[in-house]
C-alpha cells in the first residue's frame, strides 16, 4: 500500500493582490474618494492541462457626499501627485464614512469550477489626524460545480458522485480590519468563516469535505528614495489549516503617479515580476508573471496575471490610489 497526503488552499491564488487588496479584505471597501472598478484574469501554471484559471471583477466606493465631494483629503489641486513628499506632510485621515462594494470570482481547476459573489460593507474612522481604521464584512454565496465528463471513474456508478454533481449554492461570510496612514498599512482578514460542507452527493454519509477559513495578515510601508520615487515593501502571511503558512514578500518601486515596477516571492512556490502604469486619471493596468520554483516548474512555463482598474467619479483627477497603494 502507498499512502499520500496533500495539503492546499481552497481559495484562488493572486500575485497582484498588492494591486487590489479589496479582493481579500472587505475593510477596504470605499477607502478612496472615487469608485474603484477592477477586472482581473490569472492563467496559472501554463503548460499543464486544466491548470487553474481565475477571473474576477470588483467594484467599491465610499458613501456620503461629504466624503466624495466635500474635500480633497490633502490634495491642494487636481491631479497633485500622491507620491510626493509634500503629500506625506499634508496627509489627513479620512472623514468618518461608510464604504460598500461587490465582487464576483470564478475559479476553474481541472473538473471543478468554483464561483463566489459577495456584497461588502466597511466603516472608516479617523483615529487621529494621520491614522485611519476600518472594519468590514463580506456576505454572499458560493458554489462548486464538478464536470463529470472530465474525470475517470473506476466504476461508471460511483455513489460519491451523483448524476447532478453540482454542489448547491451556499452562504458565505468574510470579515476584515485595515489600519492605514500616509506611509503604511496593516490588515487582517478571514474568508470562508461558515465552514460549509463540500459534497457532490446529497447523502450525508459523503459530506466529509468542508470549506475551511483562510486567514490573511498583511502589512506594508512606503520609503521615499527621492521626492517622487518611493519603494513600497510589503508582506502577507496566509494560513489555511492544516496546510503550512504561506508567505508572500513584495517590493514595488513607484515613479510619481505614472508607473511602477516590482518583484515578489511566494514561499516554496514562485518568484514573480510585476509592472503597471496609469493612463490619465481613468485607467490603471497591472501585469505579473510568476516563475515557478516548486517541482511544478518542470512541467509549467509559469503563470500570467493581468488586472485592469478604472477610476470612476474621480473628481480630483488622481492618477493612482491615494490611500490604498
The SS3 call for residue 272 is strand
- Cα–Cα distance for residue pair 22/121, rounded to 1 Å: 11
Q: Are 47 and 301 in contact (CB under 8 A)?
A: yes
Distance, in Å, from the CA atom of 78 to the CA atom of 72, rounded to the nearest integer, reads 9
Parse the chain into domains and list their residue ranges: 21-312
**Which alpha helices (H) appear in 77-176, and where do they start and end?**
85-90
Strand residue runs (E) in 161-301: 170-181, 184-191, 197-198, 209-210, 214-221, 223-224, 229-239, 246-255, 259-266, 270-279, 283-292
What are the grid coordinates assigned to 92, written together?
489627513
Q: Cell numbers at residue 215, please? A: 486567514
Q: What angle do CA 246, 248, 251 make, to 5 degrees?
A: 170
**Fold of the 21-312 domain:** Porin (2.40.160)
For residue 115, the cross-strand partners are 106, 143
Q: How many CA atoms lie within 13 A of 163 on its CB side?
A: 0
CA distance 286 to 23: 15
Q: Per-residue confidence of the chain (325 residues) as pLDDT tens digits?
A: 676 555 555 678 888 888 889 999 999 999 988 899 999 999 988 878 888 899 999 999 998 755 544 444 434 445 556 666 777 777 778 788 999 999 999 999 888 888 999 999 999 999 988 899 999 999 999 988 887 777 777 777 777 676 666 667 889 999 999 999 988 999 999 999 988 777 776 666 665 677 889 999 999 999 999 888 999 999 999 999 888 899 999 999 998 878 899 999 998 888 999 999 988 788 999 999 999 888 776 777 889 999 999 999 887 777 777 777 7
Amino acid at each position: 500500500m502507498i499512502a499520500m497526503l496533500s495539503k492546499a488552499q481552497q481559495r484562488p491564488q493572486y500575485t497582484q493582490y498588492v494591486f487590489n487588496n479589496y479582493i481579500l479584505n472587505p475593510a477596504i471597501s470605499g477607502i478612496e474618494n472615487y469608485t474603484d472598478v477592477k477586472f482581473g484574469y490569472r492563467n496559472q501554471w501554463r503548460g499543464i492541462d486544466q491548470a487553474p484559471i481565475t477571473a474576477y471583477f470588483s467594484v467599491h466606493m465610499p458613501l456620503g457626499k461629504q466624503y466624495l465631494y466635500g474635500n480633497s483629503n490633502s490634495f491642494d489641486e487636481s491631479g497633485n501627485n500622491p507620491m510626493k513628499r509634500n503629500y506625506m506632510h499634508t496627509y489627513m485621515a479620512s472623514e468618518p464614512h461608510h464604504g460598500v462594494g461587490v465582487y464576483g470570482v470564478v475559479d476553474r481547476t481541472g473538473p471543478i469550477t468554483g464561483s463566489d459573489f459577495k456584497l461588502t460593507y466597511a466603516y472608516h474612522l479617523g483615529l487621529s489626524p494621520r491614522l485611519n481604521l476600518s472594519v468590514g464584512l463580506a456576505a454572499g454565496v458560493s458554489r462548486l460545480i464538478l464536470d463529470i465528463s472530465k474525470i475517470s471513474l473506476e466504476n461508471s456508478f460511483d455513489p460519491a458522485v451523483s448524476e447532478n454533481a453540482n454542489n448547491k449554492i451556499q452562504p458565505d461570510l468574510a470579515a476584515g480590519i485595515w489600519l492605514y496612514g500616509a506611509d503604511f498599512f496593516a490588515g487582517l482578514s478571514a474568508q470562508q468563516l461558515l465552514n460549509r460542507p463540500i459534497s457532490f452527493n446529497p447523502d450525508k454519509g459523503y459530506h466529509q469535505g468542508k470549506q475551511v477559513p483562510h486567514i490573511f495578515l498583511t502589512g506594508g510601508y512606503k520609503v521615499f528614495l527621492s521626492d517622487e520615487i518611493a519603494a513600497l515593501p510589503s508582506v502577507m502571511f496566509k494560513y489555511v489549516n492544516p496546510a503550512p503558512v504561506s508567505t508572500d514578500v513584495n517590493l514595488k518601486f513607484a515613479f510619481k503617479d505614472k508607473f511602477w515596477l516590482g518583484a515578489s516571492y511566494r514561499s516554496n512556490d514562485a518568484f514573480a515580476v510585476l509592472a503597471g502604469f496609469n493612463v490619465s486619471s481613468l485607467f490603471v493596468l497591472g501585469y505579473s508573471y510568476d516563475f515557478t520554483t516548486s517541482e511544478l516548474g518542470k512541467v509549467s512555463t509559469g503563470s500570467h496575471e493581468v488586472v485592469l482598474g478604472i477610476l470612476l467619479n474621480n473628481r480630483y483627477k488622481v492618477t493612482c490610489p491615494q490611500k490604498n497603494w
